[in-house]
């Protein structure tokens, strides 16, 4: 989910630039955007770990945090996966109780 284009001038970016490196073409400050991406990646990682552990509520919370930071297909997919996990857990609880 790394920034691949400058939001200001659409110059192609490598995605591995230092956080505070401005756009080489237009000089736009990309630090805040890159920090938000890194935070979203971390939240998404926590969401996937929670999903793997069957912790649906935590997965959903972290997935939403990632989506609020970066609205991208991968963050939407994580939210959807977390919702499915929560629904299955709820169904399993209803079936057993
Ligand atoms: Zn630019």
Domains of the chain, residue spans? 39-96
pLDDT of residue 58: 95
Low-confidence ranges of the chain (pLDDT < 50): none
CA of 1 to the centre of ligand 1 (A): 18
pLDDT of residue 8: 95
pLDDT of residue 29: 96
CA of 47 to the centre of ligand 1 (A): 32
CA of 13 to the centre of ligand 1 (A): 9
C-alpha 69/C-alpha 71 separation (Å) is: 7
CA of 63 to the centre of ligand 1 (A): 29
pLDDT of residue 87: 92
pLDDT of residue 80: 94
In sequence order, which residues have a C-beta less than 8 Å from that of residue 31 and are 6 or more positions away? 19, 20
Indicate the DSSP class of residue 15.
S
pTM of this structure: 0.81
Residues surrounding ion ligand 1 at CB below 5 Å: 6, 8-9, 11, 23, 25-26, 28
């Amino acid at each position: 989910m790394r920034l691949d284009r400058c939001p200001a001038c659409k110059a192609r970016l490598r995605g591995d630039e230092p956080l505070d490196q401005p756009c080489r073409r237009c000089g736009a400050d990309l630090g805040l955007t890159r920090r938000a991406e890194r935070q979203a990646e971390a939240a998404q990682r926590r969401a996937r770990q929670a999903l793997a552990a069957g912790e649906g509520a935590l997965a959903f919370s972290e997935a939403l945090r990632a989506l609020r930071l970066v609205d991208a297909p991968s963050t939407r997919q994580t939210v959807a996966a977390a919702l499915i996990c929560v629904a299955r857990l709820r169904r399993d609880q209803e079936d057993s109780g």
